[in-house]
Amino acid sequence: MSAEEYLEKQSKFGQWAGVPEYIAFAFMAQMVVEVYCMGSLIDCVRPPISKATIKLAYLNNHYELLLDDAEADGLKKLLPAAKIIYNS
């Protein structure tokens, strides 16, 4: 599949992002992206310049943002309608 075909496919409703998208995000946002599965680090993208780190959980073919309690509380203040699930 060519890059153009991939981008066309990904632009359709119902398509989900994956590895190429979080790698692109890391470089565009200048952020380290760490991906965890079952508590283990399975991937880490480190752009040459990074301002912060975000953590993703990969479960059941889906990515979720991992936040500590303080980060989740801050996000809830910014986005009151956001669905935030607290895990212990």
Chain segment 12-36, per-residue pLDDT in tens: 887 777 888 889 989 999 999 999 9
Edge-to-edge strands, sheet with 40-45? 40-45, 31-37, 52-59, 62-66
Domain range summary for the chain, segments of one domain joined by +: 16-78
**DSSP annotation string for the chain:** --HHHHHHHHTSTT----HHHHHHHHHHHTEEEEEEETTEEEEEE--SS-SEEEEEEEETTEEEEE--HHHHHHHHHH-TT-------
pLDDT digit string (tens) for 53-72? 999 999 888 898 888 888 87
Q: Across the strands, what pairs with 78?
A: none
The pLDDT-based confidence of 48 (bands split at 50, 70, 90) is: very high
